[in-house]
């Protein structure tokens, strides 16, 4: 049995707490939201995970000291709060802690992925250069993991031993964990697929059908892999679970908050109101500014992501934006 602390009591953090507890581990979930830890401890249920019972053995706390002595610390907070959460737990975090990030996004000003944010913020005290960082990513809707539906995911790290440790800790008969030594590529996929899912949702909101969505998924992955190659990532990552696998599920599932927000935007709802109606964090909107800036910095053409920016941030007409995409200069599909 291992002691695992999960930072964040959203749907993914709570679904993982159940999976890890049922796998024989001692699990503590930390929440910074006033009253949330006590509420979950009493209710043994999460409002956005209907039908799931939180095991009695899962502990809840609002004390960041919960990371002290943990065999693994899991960051399951929304991407905008990863840096502040790292700062909050840093005084109690072991210098060589095994840190697993399941948040997906990019930091706007630095273009850092989530594990890069954790490394940067944790090392500000000069004591945490030895953190063992792993990105855990893939096509994993919390609603399905919470119901023990068969799921596959990727533990990515340059530290192969750390990735294998996470593989062992998180694997169950219902959750199959693969390893990958390209964490940057895995995390880029996790951030950018949410933006393409917004595009897929907008498409559905406009009344377009399967042909359009298939084009968005395949050409969206072409954009993501093009940027990944420019940044030195392993191209095989983009054909894997964290790449095309996560992109497919996020673009097509009714569980996808990014797709659902995009659908509302396609129907003419403003982005802020769409987020309010979805009722949960829409990570694609958080990642969008960094994605556009990173593409520009590296001179990588990403027309679908640029189109989402124009619709969301510049209030461009969605149908006119689709026509612009369709009428761009002719291209060779594989770049020849």
Catalytic residues: 193
CA–CA distance, 87 with 211 (Å, rounded to integer)? 46
Rounded (10°) angle between helices 183-205 and 303-313: 60
> Where does 44-153 have alpha helices with state H?
82-89, 114-122, 142-145
Listed in sequence order, the residues at least 6 apart from 149 whose beta carbon sits closer than 8 Å to its beta carbon are 174
CA–CA distance, 12 with 333 (Å, rounded to integer)? 36
Helix, strand, coil abundance in the chain, percent, nearest 5:
55, 10, 35
Listed in sequence order, the residues at least 6 apart from 116 whose beta carbon sits closer than 8 Å to its beta carbon are 107, 110
Contact between 80 and 286 under an 8 Å Cβ cutoff? The reply is yes
Distances (CA, A) of 270 to 196, 212, 226, 256, 273: 18, 22, 30, 18, 5
Exposed, middle or buried by CB within 10 Å (0-12, 13-18, 19+), for 147?
middle
Phi, psi at residue 5, to the nearest 5°? -110, 130
CA–CA distance, 253 with 188 (Å, rounded to integer)? 20
Distances (CA, A) of 268 to 258, 271, 288, 326: 16, 9, 19, 21
**Plot region of 78 (φ>0 → left; ψ -120 to 50 → alpha; else → beta):** beta
CA–CA distance, 30 with 47 (Å, rounded to integer)? 17
The length of the chain is: 336
Q: List residues bridging with 176 in a β-sheet.
A: 152
């Amino acid at each position: 049995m291992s002691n695992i602390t999960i930072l964040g009591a959203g749907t993914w953090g709570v679904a993982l707490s159940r999976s890890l507890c049922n796998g024989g581990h001692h699990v503590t979930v930390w929440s910074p939201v006033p009253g949330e830890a006590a509420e979950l401890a009493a209710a043994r249920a999460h409002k956005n995970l209907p039908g799931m019972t939180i095991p009695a053995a899962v502990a809840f706390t609002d004390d960041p000291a919960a990371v002290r002595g943990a065999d693994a610390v899991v960051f399951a907070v929304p991407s905008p709060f990863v840096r502040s959460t790292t700062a909050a737990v840093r005084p109690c975090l072991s210098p060589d802690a095994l840190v697993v990030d399941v948040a997906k996004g990019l930091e706007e000003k630095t273009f850092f992925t989530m594990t890069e944010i954790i490394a940067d913020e944790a090392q500000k005290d000069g004591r945490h250069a030895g953190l063992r960082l792993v990105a855990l990513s893939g096509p994993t809707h919390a609603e399905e993991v919470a119901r023990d539906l068969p799921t596959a995911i990727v533990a990515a790290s340059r530290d192969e031993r750390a990735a294998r440790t996470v593989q062992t800790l998180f694997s169950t008969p219902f959750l199959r964990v693969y390893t990958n030594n390209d964490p940057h590529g895995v995390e880029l996929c996790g951030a950018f697929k949410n933006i393409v899912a917004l595009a897929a949702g907008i498409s559905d909101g406009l009344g377009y059908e399967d042909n359009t969505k298939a084009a968005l998924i395949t050409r969206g992955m072409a954009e993501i892999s093009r940027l990944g190659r420019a940044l030195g990532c392993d191209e095989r990552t983009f054909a894997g679970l964290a790449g095309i696998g996560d992109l497919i599920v996020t673009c097509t599932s009714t569980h996808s908050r990014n797709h659902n927000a995009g659908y509302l935007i396609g129907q003419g709802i403003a982005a802020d109101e769409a987020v309010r109606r979805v009722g949960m964090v829409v990570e694609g909107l958080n990642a969008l500014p960094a994605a556009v800036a990173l593409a520009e910095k590296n001179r990588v053409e990403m027309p679908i992501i640029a189109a989402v920016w124009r619709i969301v941030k510049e209030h461009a007409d969605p149908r006119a934006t689709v026509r612009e995409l369709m009428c761009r200069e002719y291209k060779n599909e594989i770049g020849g």
